[in-house]
Structure 1
């Protein structure tokens, strides 16, 4: 039987090629994803470890209970602790570091780097006057507030040389600094395309922390001293609260773990592409083996007649699947390694730099490829194998095995109807639940499974709807319709690939479009201001920006938004400071109790969720401990509905600012004389010195920002559709090719009685088109239903009260067009093959 199985594989090489390709694509993308993420992760971890070469123990700030800093507290990482660390037995040196966001403009004024990876730090010279972390390639280290040094990668990319004046920004205003030195570094963020600027320690402390304070103290062990021993010594000098000591090895391991976790999201997203391809491929494999078994009815029945058992017949079919899966797995593995290498090269070509490193092909990747390819293929072929074993020996006397019995069809349709009904009920119940995600997921799985089981039953009436159109093509159209409904199971299996792909894409497009509109409403409904000014990376702005904007003649009202840690009673809370005089002109709050009035003195407004949790109402007096440790009392003037823009406790900046040690703004709201116009925006940009680190956004920009994020997500999902479409094309080609082979006699007879080659091609193309459109209509219909249901679930949770269903008619029409194109393209080769059949040879074929 094993030899028989191998002979059958070799005898049907062309027929099984499409199946191999379908499995290979899925395996290749699984392997490509694993190779790519492993390679990038390994390179980043190696680069990260180099950054800890000079760190044996690090003292870091530690904020209890997740708070950034207790009100009135000072950082314990000061010069005194630094000097004590350097004098410890076993310590060779101690380095105090501070760091923060630093935007570097290129010569055209645009931001270098990706925003969040554009950072600044301090140059901390040792006894020899040099900082071992940052060896200078050109020039000298920075000294004084007007100087800085830049990493070599960024300097080369921007064309800067020692002596150039460079525009930078740390907290808002543009600073013109003299470039005194260019250094090299193993920093992974720089290797990945970011930038690093260095200042002298005094300047860096003023920019990033406070005079005399450090963000971290790094200690290098003397020769012969272990990291553990040095840490024990450091623990003895740590302050009681606010600081922790960690070994360099632990930091490196923690960083490696963080990198691995950050890669998990990318890996999951990319594996979803491969998962869809494999899922769709299952239908193709099952369909292929079902048709192969049907074509070999006489052969299999004859094997039964001469003594082969059912188990041997099943094993024969599964052996064929094993061979096909092994071939697909090996080719998929090799192709996947190429994809992984290509993805890394593509990232480099698009400017997303990564540290250098070898291509990583882990043993687990090889094992995964073999398991995925072989297991998926064998499992998909198991049901056709069982059917093959049930072929009675008497079937060898007939040319075609008996079609499915009425009983089997009734059982199948009954099971499908029960599953679909239960799934629909579960989905509808979930839409009214505040936490119905599990119920929704279960209902979705049941409904999709039920519909796939019922697809053969649904194919007849839905394809019949195309009859009036097909009649326009004469006898070719009539024959195409009859061929499409002749074998409903085959038609259903062929269409299922597109159904799954379009279901996912349509559902996500409906939800994404509706969420975008809802978030857009929430983000802009509470905003009266013409512009919102903020840092590009959402870090705090210098208050100088708000002062400069308020002084412009075209600005009629402005308000900085400031956050400050505080305590209300014994609970930690954050206060939001605004310009009480102009706030009503810039924001629109929906009050449930009280009113905004004019914020000032101790008046404040609170959001409804906070008020409900604490039992606050207009007139409630709140005992508050400010950031500097001083106490006061706030009086609730009103309770408003929270939104994307405003939430928490809002009070006047005049009340808040005196208690802030380091005053910074999260953003500035601005209203102008002539509203949001291109000229006004240009005027504001010029007034802020064409600062690349600052974003000036009007309501449209806010909306576009939301749309950009959702569009990025949708583009990834459309990649899933492309994957499903590629595999679906292979499935339709496979099915049509075997269908043409099965109907060789019939096609020969049609040719003999006068149907020319042109009409034969048209018949096959129309059959393919009808099947593809059937799958497309079914997938889009299910996608709209699930999109609606997901939206109802979102509304039930109360997270997006402005959510409304938005049907993207244009995109749904495009998806249906994609299904039609799939049908046309998939039919090209089978149609040509059918038209080229020798009519006499075909008529004589068994």
Structure 2
């Protein structure tokens, strides 16, 4: 039986080619993901470990306990504490570390790197062991800085050039005193690092006389744990805690592993989708191969082969096919992993140097996935073939499914689909999105499986609906419709592969379009301001920005939005500081109760906060500010909160005295002539053409959100394209094997007058009908899932409503049609080229 199985594999190489390709693509996706993520994780871990070479013990501020009745100030690491740490027994030296956001512009005026990874810090003394200089000298005073070598190379900076920087709004133009090397992971990922002298860094980052961390280097012969014990002995209680350099490196490695694990999991989900679609092809292929060899298998049974041996022979074939696909997929995956790493560099990202990591786990996973999925998909066709009695197989009475099996299949499919719909609908009624995720996922899986089981039943009425169109093509159209429904199970498996991909694509498109509409409504309904000014990376703005804007020509009203923590009724609540005199001109918030009046001790609160504290207009409460001060405030009104405006709103004149370093999250601006390109230019120039600051009108806000959705959607489309490609292979494979199976029939059609063009047209129309059938099912399911997911989002976003992207759905249906036409090219050509007499004589 083993030799027979191998002979069958070699005899059907062409027919198994598409199956091998489908499995290979899925395995390549899996192994490529594992190689890529393991490689970048290993590179970043080794690179970050180098950054702790000069740290044996790190002293960090003790985390604040937010269960106290007052917010209080964070413990500080002072200069005195630095001296104590440097003088403990076993310490060689101690370095104070200060860091914060620092945006640096290139010579073209644009922000360098990713805003969230644009960092600044301090250079310690005349020679900082953390940052070896490759040119220039240490910075001295506020007019000199150092930049990292990667940033200098990208921007074309040299020692002596002038840099344009921004910490929290105002533009700084220091001279580049030197360039340094670093193993910082943010820099390696494409960010930037700018260093000031310590006093300047403390002033710019609002940490006068304090440090974010104190790094202690051990003297020769002193272990990290011994030094940690010595430092712990001199630290004041509840002020700071210590961590060894090894622990810091281990923690950093864990964080990097978690980050790459999230990326790995996301990519593997799409690899799983491609493999899931591939199972339809595998099952279809082996079902057709077994059907074509029914008499051969019956003869084996007749000469003494058992059912198990027949099933085993099919599984051996699947094992060989899966092994070949897995090995080739692994090799292709290694190439994909290397290519993705190279692509990151070309797109502006940077990965630290390191070898390509091909772990034993990656190899084992690739082989296991390829072989197991192929064998599992082939098991049912093999088992079904083994159960056919030899006599029945010889006379081909097995060809049609029994009425009992059809009733059982349709009943099971209906139950699964109904259970899926009910579960999804139940999930949409839950208020907590996290609680709804599990039932939503379960319901979606049940519904997709149920529809797949019901697809043979659905194929007849849906394909029959295309009959009027197919009649236009005459005999070829009629034959194409009949061929499409001749074997409903085969048609179902072929169409379902395409259905899965289009379901996901349509669902994502429906959600993205609905969310974008909700964002547009939110921006236009809650804000009267012409412009919103903020840092590009959403870091806090200096209060000086609002003062600059207020004095700019054409500006009629401004209000900063300032966040501050507080304690109310034993709970942490964030206050939103505004300009009470102008906030009414700049916002358009609907009131549920009272009047909109902010000033002195009068505040307004959003409906959710009011509901949680059982407040109404006229209620009074006591707030504990971050400096420990307490004050009684009165609620004048309750407004409907939005994603852009919510919380307890009070006047900045009341809030600011309780803040040590006031800063604004954004500034709302109204101009005399409304939003216009000239007004925007005036604001940008007033702020010094600062690359770190964004000046956005309502349309810009919507567009910035749209860009995020569009980018994510394009990435998801690209990942799902693998599933569509696999589905195309399935259509090609099914048609090609169907042509082989119907060779005698095609020969007869040629003999009675159907020309080669007619044969080609018949096969193409059959492919088109099957693809459109899968497309209709996929778009229908995608709309349902998009609606259901939107119902969950609607509980969090008041402006959310379902928007059906009719144009895009039409494009998706057209895409399904194109898939059908392209997939039929080779099978149609092959069918047309069959020799008429040879085909008639074939069995």
TM-score by length of 2: 0.97
Matched, 1:333 2:330: yes
Write the mapping of 1:632-643 to structure 2, written as runs, cut at 5 A: 632-643=631-642
Corresponding residue of 2:712? 713
Equivalent residues of 2:69, 2:570 under 8 A apart: no
Q: 1:27 to 1:229 in 2, by over 3 A?
A: same
Task: Report how far residue 393 of structure 1 moved.
Answer: 1.1
Structure-to-structure mapping, 1:106-117, within 5 angstroms: 106-117=106-117
1:839 and 2:836 are equivalent in the alignment: yes
SS of the aligned residue for 2:513 comes to helix
- In the superposition, relative to structure 1, how do residues 827 and 620 fare at CA in structure 2: closer, same or farther (>3 Å)? same
| Whole-Å separation in 1 of the counterparts to 2:422 and 2:785 | 13
**More displaced 10-residue stretch of structure 1: 808-817 or 441-450:** 441-450
The CA distance in 1 between the partners of 2:544 and 2:437, in whole Å, is 47
Counterpart contact for 1:297–1:395, Cα < 8 Å: no
Aligned-pair CA distance for 1:74: 5.7
In the TM superposition, residue 397 of structure 1 has moved relative to its aligned partner by 3.5
Matched, 1:786 2:778: no
Query: Is the contact between residue 622 and residue 632 of structure 2 (CA under 8 Å) also seen in structure 1?
Result: yes
Of stretches 348-357 and 364-373 in structure 1, the one that deviates more from structure 2 is 348-357
Deviation at 1:273, TM superposition (A): 2.0
Q: CA deviation at 1:401?
A: 4.2
The corresponding residue for 1:808 is 805
Task: Tell me how far apart the structure 2 counterparts of residues 76 and 663 of structure 1 sit (CA, whole Å).
Answer: 18
Alpha-carbon distance, 1:236 to partner: 1.5
Give 2:668's aligned residue: 669
For the structure 1 residues 442 and 161, does the alpha-carbon distance in structure 2 shift closer, same or farther, using more than 3 Å as the test? closer
Q: Structure 1 79/68 Cα, relative in aligned 2: closer, same or farther at 3 Å?
A: farther
The residue number in structure 1 matching 2:276 is 279
Q: Confirm or deny: 8 A CA contact 2:69 2:624 kept in the other structure.
A: no
Is residue 2:151 matched to residue 1:154?
A: yes
CA distance in 1, matches of 2:668, 2:419: 52
| Residue 199 (1) aligns with residue 203 (2) | no
Tell me whether 1:515 sits opposite 2:515 in the alignment.
yes
Task: Give the CA deviation at 1:248.
Answer: 0.7
| CA deviation string 1:207-265 (max 9, x = no partner) | 11321010100001111111111111111122222321111111111111111111122
Which residue number corresponds to residue 463 of structure 1?
Answer: 463
What is the CA–CA distance in structure 2 between the aligned matches of 1:749 and 1:424, rounded to whole Å? 47
Three-state SS of the structure 1 residue aligned to 2:65 is helix
Conserved 8 A contact 2:103-2:112 = yes
Preserved CA contact (<8 Å) 1:298 1:400: no
TM-superposed deviation, 1:751: 1.3
**1:411-810 map, 5 Å:** 411-435=408-432, 436-568=436-568, 570-597=570-597, 599-795=598-794, 798-810=795-807
Q: Which residue of 2 aligns with 1:178?
A: 175
Residue of structure 2 in register with 1:818 after alignment: 815
Per the TM alignment, residue 288 of structure 1 is displaced from its structure 2 partner at its CA by 0.4
Q: Deviations over 1:125-153 (max 9, x none)?
A: 2xxx3111111111111001111111111
Query: Which residue in 2 is equivalent to 1:90?
Result: 90
Deviation for aligned residue 1:524: 3.8
Cross-structure match for 1:302? 299
Residue 624 (structure 1) shift: 2.5
Q: Tell me if the contact between 1:64 and 1:242 (Cα under 8 Å) persists in the aligned partners.
A: no
Contact 1:276 1:720 in 2 (8 A): no
Q: How does 1:47-446 map onto structure 2 within 5 Å?
A: 47-65=47-65, 71-73=71-73, 75-125=75-125, 129-395=126-392, 397-398=394-395, 401-435=398-432, 436-446=436-446
SS in 1 for 2:115: coil
Deviates more, 1:197-206 or 1:505-514: 505-514
Q: Deviations over 1:791-837 (max 9, x none)?
A: 23443xx2122221110001100110110011011111111111111
Deviation for aligned residue 1:464? 0.9
Q: Residues of 1 paired with 2:177 and 2:720: CA distance?
A: 52
Q: Deviations over 1:311-354 (max 9, x none)?
A: 11001101110111111110100000000000011111111111
Shift in Å, 1:396: 5.2
**Post-superposition shift, 1:569?**
5.0
Give the CA deviation at 1:488: 0.8
Q: In the aligned structure 1, how far is the partner of 2:591 from the partner of 2:103? A: 39
Can you list the C-alpha shifts for 1:600-621, whole angstroms capped at 9, x where unaligned?
Answer: 2111112222222222233333
Counterpart Cα distance in 2 of 1:450 and 1:625: 57
Inter-CA distance 439–119: structure 2 relative to 1 (3 Å threshold): closer
> How many angstroms does 1:66 deviate by?
5.7
- 1:535-584 CA-to-partner distances (Å, cap 9, x unmatched) read 11111111111100000121000011112233335433322111111110
CA distance in 2, matches of 1:170, 1:430: 45
* Deviates most, 652-661 or 737-746: 652-661
SS at match of 1:116: helix
Deviations 1:131-188 (CA, angstroms, capped at 9, x unpaired): 1111111111100111111111111221111111111111101011011111111111
CA contact (8 A) 2:114 2:191 kept: yes
Range that drifts further, 411-420 or 135-144: 411-420
Moved more, 375-384 or 706-715: 706-715
Quickly say closer, same or farther: Cα 1:691–1:69, change in 2 above 3 A. farther
Q: Distance in 2 between matches of 1:787 and 1:595?
A: 39
Matched residues in 2 for 1:239 and 1:606: separation? 41
Contact 2:98 2:202 in 1 (8 A): yes
1:23 is aligned to 23
Give 1:721 deviation, angstroms. Answer: 3.4
Distance 1:821 1:522 in 2: 38
**CA–CA distance in structure 1, aligned partners of residues 65 and 734 of structure 2:** 62
SS of structure 2 residue aligned to 1:65: coil
Could you tell which deviates more after superposition, 455-464 or 433-442?
433-442
Structure-2 separation of matches of 1:37 and 1:68: 42
Q: Aligned partners of 1:761, 1:521: CA distance in 2, in Å?
A: 51
In 1: Cα distance, 2:191 partner to 2:394 partner: 74
Q: For 1:76 and 1:370, how far apart are their aligned partners in 2?
A: 55
CA shift for structure 1 position 413: 1.4
CA distance in 1, matches of 2:680, 2:37: 42
Contact 2:642/2:797 (<8 A) preserved: no
CA drift at 1:674: 1.2
User: Secondary structure, in 3 states, of the residue corresponding to 1:95?
Assistant: strand
Contact 2:642 2:798 in 1 (8 A): no
CA distance in 1, matches of 2:365, 2:720: 24
Root mean square deviation, CA, Å: 1.6
CA distance in 2, matches of 1:567, 1:420: 50
Contact 2:549 2:555 in 1 (8 A): yes
Deviation at 1:443, TM superposition (A): 2.6
Provide structure 1 residue ranges, at least 5 long, that are not aligned to the other structure.
Answer: none
1:31-87 deviation digits (Å, cap 9, x = unpaired):
000100111111111110000000011011232236999745364201000000000
